[in-house]
């Protein structure tokens, strides 16, 4: 047993013991802590002995440290259970249609390219542009004056000439006329199906959304 000539706080003792490589079992650090406490009492100066109040204070500190460790373990376990529960709930979204922020969506499969435009303010001029992934404009909708809020839209893939566009991914960009007279983009939410769900190492839930890609579950605005 090591000689102990000074009086350390319970927190310092516990931290020192926990770092020792020979402490392997969960209860080893507790036992060695108590041994060091006894060693302190045996090796204390007879001219300046530790009083009962100090001893009780150290025991109280030890209980506090132990309580914090137990609480941390409990919270960690609870967090793991919560993540498992969230993952289970998220799997229920597979095959469902969700609404997420995106500038690219999928047209085809008998479904239109649809969603909502989020207008932060009233506008006198709202444009909705549909383009190929490479940026070629295929359809433009002049929606005119609109009030602030959410404005639903749906594009069936028909061009102005009445031709049907092939299935695939298309860009969806909404713009308004800003105070400077220049076009400003506003947020667009697209409706798309959830193909799968992935649980990240950090506990985050990611949805694989058709035509959109990986999207955090926190970004889902609506479930249809």
- Domain regions of the chain by residue span: 10-91, 97-192
Helix axis angle, 10-18 to 52-91, nearest 10°: 50
Question: Residue 108 gets which letter from DSSP?
Answer: B
The CATH number assigned to the domain with range 97-192 reads 2.60.40.4070
Q: Which two tokens stand for residue 30?
A: 């507790």
Supply the angle between the helices 10-18 and 28-43 in degrees, to the nearest 10.
Answer: 130
Mean pLDDT, rounded, for 126-138: 95
pTM, rounded to two decimals:
0.61
Q: Which of 137, 133, 140 is nearest to 171 (CA)?
A: 133
Number of helices and strands (H, E) in the chain?
3, 12
159 close to 165: Cβ distance less than 8 angstroms: yes
Residues 64-83 as b or e (16 or more Cβ within 10 Å = b): ebeeeeeeeeeeeeeeeeeb
Tell which residue, 60, 20, 19, has the closest CA to residue 37: 60
Short-list 172, 169, 166, CA closest to 212 = 169
* Helix or strand run (H / E) with residue 209: strand 205-209
Question: Which range, of 12-16, 85-89, 211-215, averages the lowest pLDDT?
Answer: 12-16
How many whole angstroms separate alpha carbon 46 and alpha carbon 123?
A: 85
Name the β-bridge partners of 132.
Answer: 170
**CB atoms inside a 10 Å sphere around CB 97:** 16
Cα–Cα separations (whole angstroms), residue 107 to 125, 168, 171, 219: 26, 5, 10, 21
**Computed from CA positions of residues 43, 68, 204, 216, in that sequence, does the dihedral angle turn out positive or negative?**
negative
pLDDT single digits (tens) 33-74: 666 666 665 665 555 555 555 655 665 665 665 555 665 565
Tell me the C-alpha distance between 141 and 176, whole Å: 12
Provide the pLDDT for residue 198: 85
**pLDDT range class, residue 5, cuts 50, 70, 90:** very low
Q: Is the pLDDT of residue 104 over 50?
A: yes
Q: What confidence category does residue 115 fall into, taking pLDDT thresholds of 50, 70 and 90?
A: very high
């Amino acid at each position: 047993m090591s000689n102990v000539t000074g009086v350390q706080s319970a927190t310092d003792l516990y931290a020192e013991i926990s770092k020792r490589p020979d402490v392997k079992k969960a209860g080893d650090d507790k036992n060695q802590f108590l041994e060091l406490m006894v060693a302190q009492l045996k090796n204390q100066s007879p001219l300046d002995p530790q009083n009962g109040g100090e001893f009780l204070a150290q025991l109280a500190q030890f209980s506090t440290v132990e309580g914090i460790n137990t609480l941390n373990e409990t919270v960690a376990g609870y967090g793991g259970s919560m993540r498992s529960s969230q993952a289970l709930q998220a799997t229920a979204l597979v095959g469902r249609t969700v609404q997420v922020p995106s500038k690219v969506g999928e047209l085809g499969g008998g479904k239109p390219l649809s969603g909502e435009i989020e207008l932060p303010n009233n506008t006198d001029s709202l444009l909705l542009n549909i383009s190929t992934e490479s940026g070629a404009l295929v359809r433009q909708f002049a929606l005119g004056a609109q009030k602030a809020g959410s404005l639903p839209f749906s594009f069936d893939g028909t061009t102005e000439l009445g031709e049907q566009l092939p299935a695939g991914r298309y860009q969806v960009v909404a713009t308004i006329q800003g105070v400077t007279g220049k076009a400003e983009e506003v947020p667009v939410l697209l409706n798309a199906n959830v193909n799968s769900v992935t649980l990240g190492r950090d506990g985050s839930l990611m949805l694989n959304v058709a035509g959109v890609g990986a999207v955090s579950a926190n970004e889902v605005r609506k479930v249809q």
